[in-house]
Amino acid sequence: MGFSAAVSNSPRILPSSAFASETTAKRKICSLPSLCRSLSLLHGQPRFRLSSASQLGKRISPTIHVAASVTDISVSKSMDEVHLPKGDMWSVHKFGGTCVGTSQRIKNVADIIINEDSERKLVVVSAMSKVTDMMYDLIFKAQSRDDSYVSALDAVLEKHSLTAHDLLDGDELASFLSCLRNDVNNLKAMLHAIYIAGHATESFTDFVVGHGELWSAQMLSSVIRKNGIDCNWMDTREVLIVNPTGSNQVDPDFLESERRLEKWFSQNPSKTIIATGFIASTPQNIPTTLKRDGSDFSAAIMGSLFKARQVTIWTDVNGVYSADPRKVSEAVILRTLSYQEAWEMSYFGANVLHPRTIIPVMQHKIPIAIRNIFNLSDPGTTICHPLVTEDEDDQTLDSPVKGFATIDNLALVNVEGTGMAGVPGTASAIFGAVKDVGANVIMISQASSEHSVCFAVPEKEVNAVAEALQSRFQQALDAGRLSQVAVIPNCSILAAVGQKMASTPGVSATLFNALAKANINIRAIAQGCSEYNITVVVKREDCIKALRAVHSRFYLSRTTIAMGIIGPGLIGGTLLDQLRDQAAVLKDEFNIDLRVMGITGSRIMLLSEVGIDLSQWRELLKEKGEVANLEKFTQHVHGNHFIPNTVLVDCTADSHVASYYHDWLRKGIHVITPNKKANSGPLDQYLKLRALQRKSYTHYFYEATVGAGLPIVSTLRGLLETGDKILRIEGIFSGTLSYIFNSFIGSRSFSEVVAEAKEAGYTEPDPRDDLSGMDVARKVIILARESGLKLELSDIPVQSLVPEPLKASASAEEFMRQLPLFDHDWTKERKEAEEAGEVLRYVGVVDAVNQKGNVQLRRYKKEHPFAQLSGSDNIIAFTTKRYEKQPLIVRGPGAGAQVTAGGIFSDILRLASYLGAPS
């Protein structure tokens, strides 16, 4: 629909948009008059032109005859035609609705334009924030015959009137308000006609909603002129000509737009031009819009027409992030992107320019800068030709993947059958059926065998797609040539984008490995031959977890692990204190963020959504703790999809807690523990646990089950994995019993030494738990099983050091009172050993050759390594094929909360390394 006036016998349009300067008063179109006499126009193309009082003002009677056109480009040129200079002297700036949302923000925009150092400037502005939505709402209300459209339009008038009063004064204010009132009156007439008809054409709608841009452009140009700058404003419907397509988009007509721009500039020469965004005209001079992201598109088209040095898109963020910062807190600003990278990322929903915005500037290699109007010191992101040297942070410089983006609410459709292979036209028939129902295919994946074709569509469209395919291939399904048309709902797409991916081997492997380590299953994969993009489909509930996992892997951002600590007793409490003391160093120097999301004991637990403050975890546990529930605790720690990796650290000796390990590992939860009950329990459960661990990417670490902080299990594994054969493992595995027999010398009694060990905290609350030898037996059975022996705990003979009469003592206190009665026997045994030049040591033995083990008190010569221990040291000797003549010895502290917690901490850091933290 054409809406501006061309007057008979007039050399050109003389719009009275009520501007102070004669130049400005010569050129603008503001609006429409009453449409009461032309309701038929609401249902078809116009047959005549409508006049606008605000456009023609006092120069022309509002009752003159007009014809349909936004502007009459056939009018004669000025006698002194001014040619449009093009090139690097021009910079193009685009300010969105947020940037011009208030009078103060419009002033800020004016300051930026005035202070910008380009010789010439073209500024594209959107409507004030929310105004476009308000204008669409007017149309909706009028079509719905809701007469509140009148008051809603008054609200639009008031918003702009108040803003103008804050910004302008004198003739500029009076002129703008006159134009504004005329526009609003004309809009009321149009909306009344729509109200009566109950319908508005697309042309009417586009014309109505475009007024926000007209008003913001007029106000901004007036503010700039108020500062003494030569400035005109441009109604881009006079210049931008576009051809509507059938996909709710438009294609710019650059040749015609360039001709009209030359015409416009010859009549309105200026070094600063404020242009309306979003709106344009068809070749028939009918008002239209540039659809989605139209203001950005306007700026890009203008940049191309002016051959500008740069197009700057001003927004409210610092630039383009490597991932959505709402989902990945460690996302970084990308200082440069190639056109292709920006194109790919925007397609997949990243907060980047719409792909079509990039097209107009690409052919002229015009950079697009995305900057934050509220943070002028930040340089933002530059989208440019890939040959431009990148100057990014060290953190992102070497990453072949620039960014990650996701699309949610998708469904996969899988069409498969043996009858598809080698049959021409099958894919065409599939996607023809999809096209017929108007569905949008987001991604396609097909195996080379052609046995199946898989593609993703929006979930809201999948039912129609499935029905269309069932109908189209019903005969093939009945005949068995196709086996099924399957729908997999609740999916999301994760896309990795980067131009360097094409020249970097192993990108796909790294991507898939990161997803596997986060225990995420991939439903489908697609990659173009350009390798700018690798796309995977995952379950919707895994999407954020997947995004964080791959982002962390490629950007070496903090490897974040959600942790749950079970058993905050002596060892667990010590571990929490060690985590507290080391947390800052791990974050700053090693990019590891160990976030304790929960702590639970047997009676009370503490949960947190963001991570417990470990500097006061004891106080918080008392003050904010709730009744312990292990299932709820597990769900809370593992249920945070913003953290891709979860580990539960079991610091108890509880067999009930150990029974959960298999279920946790199956769910993708890593397990770290000093608890020996799982690995020394029933053999079939142990084998089931290890089999699950081996076939998954879930880790189960238990170094501290055998030697506290000593690397005993890892040493054994290293020997086996490098092809060595274990012959015998013999050692002092109990720090408590090591201390007792190292101290049981001279004139000291056995009971005195046990009491001293108990007082020092080396023993369990009941020393019989140590003296019984069962703790050592469990360690022996763990090492035996690690060596490949299939033994039960009951297969290990154990010599108990608890005197038979005291095994039934009622309490630990009673046991300690009665123990001195047996000192004579112990003293006698020690003296016999000393007379033979030997010492007593309590040892565990794994005899791999004979496939057996035992735990007993043995005597060793004083020159033997086992005789030379001190304190609570442990010592383990590995006799293997390689180390047959001289066993491999591991020795060090084997008891105490600090070393045991340190061993657990070491396993936690090993897990972090496996999950992608730098080593």
**SS3 letters across 869-901:** CCCCEEEEEEEECCCCCCCEEEEEECCCHHHHH
Q: What is the DSSP letter of 116?
A: -
What the block records as the tokens of 885 is 């003549």
Q: Give the residues across from 726 on adjacent strands.
A: 880
Please give the Cα distance from 678 to 287 (Å, whole number). Answer: 74
Of the candidates 200, 202, 199, which has an alpha carbon nearest to the alpha carbon of residue 291? 202
CB 316 within 8 A of CB 374: yes
Q: Which helix (H) or strand (E) holds 108?
A: helix 103-115
Please give the Cα distance from 713 to 736 (Å, whole number). Answer: 20
What the block records as the tokens of 878 is 């590995």
CA angle 615/621/624 to nearest 5° reads 110
> Dihedral angle at the C-alpha atoms of 742, 747, 752, 754, nearest 10 degrees?
20
Of the candidates 710, 836, 884, 833, which has an alpha carbon nearest to the alpha carbon of residue 783? 710
CB 206 within 8 A of CB 175: no
What Rg, from alpha-carbon coordinates, does the chain have? 39
What the block records as the tokens of 260 is 């009209």
CB 371 within 8 A of CB 380: yes
Of the candidates 12, 41, 10, which has an alpha carbon nearest to the alpha carbon of residue 28? 12
CA distances from 491 to 406, 412, 540 (A): 11, 7, 5
CB 753 within 8 A of CB 865: no
Helix (H, G, I), strand (E, B) or coil at 848: coil
Q: Which helix (H) or strand (E) holds 199?
A: none
Please give the Cα distance from 400 to 790 (Å, whole number). Answer: 47
Q: Which helix (H) or strand (E) holds 165?
A: helix 149-167
- Edge to edge, the sheet with strand 592-600 lists 626-627, 604-607, 592-600, 559-566, 645-650, 670-672, 700-701
Please give the Cα distance from 545 to 164 (Å, whole number). Answer: 48
CB 160 within 8 A of CB 222: no
Please give the Cα distance from 565 to 456 (Å, whole number). Answer: 40
Q: What is the DSSP letter of 389?
A: P
Q: Map tokens 């953290």 to a residue.
A: 643
Torsion 148-153-157-160 (CA) sign = positive
What the block records as the tokens of 157 is 């008038």
Catalytic annotation, pick one of 141, 188, 500, 779: 779
Residues 572-594 as b or e (16 or more Cβ within 10 Å = b): bbbbbbbbbeebeebeeebbbbb
Q: Is 545 a catalytic residue?
A: no
Contacts of 89 (CB under 8 A, 6+ apart): 118, 119, 120, 309
Q: How many CB atoms lie within 10 A of CB 803?
A: 17
CB 367 within 8 A of CB 312: no
Contacts of 441 (CB under 8 A, 6+ apart): 431, 434, 455, 456, 457
Please give the Cα distance from 846 to 276 (Å, whole number). Answer: 84
Residues 467-490 as b or e (16 or more Cβ within 10 Å = b): ebbeebbeebbeeebbbebebbee
Active site positions, annotated: 779
